[in-house]
Amino acid sequence: MNEAIPQLLTYDEASLDRAFAAVAEEVRGGTSSLETSEAQEAFRLHWLGRKQGRLKLISEAWLKSAPAEARKPLGIRFNQLKQEIEAALQAPVAAAGAAVVRGIDITLPGTVRQPGIAHPLLETMQEIVRVFHHLGYSTNLGPQVETDFYNFEALNFPQNHPARDTQDTLQIADQGAKPSRDRLLMRTHTSPVQIRTMVAQAPPIRIVIPGKVHRNDAADATHSPIFHQVEGLCVDTNITFSDLKGTLDHAMKALFGSGVKTRFFPSFFPFTEPSADVQISCIFCGGKGCRKCKHSGWIELLGCGMVDPAVFASVTEERRKLGLDDDAYNPDRITGFAFGMGVERIAMIQHGISDIGQFYSGDMRFLEQFA
Ligand code: DAH
């Protein structure tokens, strides 16, 4: 390793550059193996050792015998070389560019990668879906860009009917040339997937439909123009309103605890008859009355009802167009119930969240609370 120092014969700039470049090359060759403190110490001794270090030898061989006018250019290069050697001893990365791992301290904590979590909204949506999976339901999905027919018409919302006002939506541009039933819009609810499912498949049907829906609503603490629903549909022979009540009572107890009570209030939806709003006893005050339940003791949670025969009629008409003239949805033989709930509302009640906007803010301080 300790090669002899080559002799310097000429002192012009080019010769000096060449001589020092060769030594610098030698230095760099040695830095690629500075992985342990022992290797570093050996490198330091080899180059900077006070008696036999190569820098000392170079200084003796080149500087001492140099003519006076060569002292300055020699000195400058000598100092540069020394700095390069010292830098190699400081730098964590070898001159060759390879990463140098200096002594590893295995007692230091490692780099911890934060595991991801499901978003609280998706968590609640899954939870709702799971309750129905346990009852034998399967999952269906449908498009968010929907036709007027599936979103409104087939669900018994006639053109210009005031019930459409409650679900003002966003229309896709340039649809005016199409017949109204084919015009595209952002779906306002997951109910159109009821129709898609029944057109495609004969009873018995037991499905849940989780998904994103859109409305032309201004955002406030409890509204968002984009939100999520879980829809349900059960169609078979002999399905009655008591099946609906039993199923939803069970689902509410599964979601909010076995202590909650349910009650069914008359309501209106064009696609169910009769229709009802389901309320649960207030989970904050146990039904005594508090601010959260506006002192009524009850919280309104979802809509439901028995599938309107007009809906079966629309389904049958569509199936006939597809050549499925099978009487599968004859309302004299077939009945069903449907329900739809807002995921945000349920998640807000579950977690005591008062501002819906938190779900969409992407604020880690909010999200990390669900980790
Ligand atoms: N689609 C209704 C809405 O978004 C909710 C709903 C009510 C769905 C009653 C249903 C139902 O399936 O039976 O307001």
- CA–centroid distance, 339 to ligand 1, in Å, is 6
Residues 157-190: tens digit of each pLDDT:
988 888 888 788 888 999 989 999 999 999 999 9
If you take atom 12 of ligand 1, which residue's CA is the nearest one? 339
- More confident of the two residues 84 and 304: 304
pTM of the full predicted structure?
Answer: 0.71
- CA–centroid distance, 213 to ligand 1, in Å, is 12
CATH code, 120-370: 3.30.930.10
Residues 225-274: tens digit of each pLDDT:
999 999 999 999 999 999 999 999 999 999 999 999 999 999 999 999 99
Segment among 97-106, 205-214, 258-267 with least mean pLDDT: 97-106
If you take atom 4 of ligand 1, which residue's CA is the nearest one? 189
What are the contacts of 69-75 at 24+ separation with CB within 8 A? 69/11, 70/11, 70/16, 73/11, 73/13, 73/16, 74/11, 74/16
Q: Please give the share of the chain, as a percent, with pLDDT higher than 70.
A: 96
**What is the pLDDT at residue 10?**
86
- CA–centroid distance, 215 to ligand 1, in Å, is 14
Q: Residues in the chain, how many?
A: 371
Q: Is 273 annotated as a binding residue?
A: yes
pLDDT for residue 29 is more than 90:
no
Ligand 1 site residues (CB inside 6 A) read 189, 191, 231, 269, 272, 303-305, 338-340
Q: Which residues contact 244 (CB under 8 A, 6 or more apart)?
A: 234, 304, 305, 306, 337, 339
If you take atom 3 of ligand 1, which residue's CA is the nearest one? 189
Residue with tokens 């880690």: 364
Q: Output phi, psi for 359, to 5 deg.
A: -65, -30
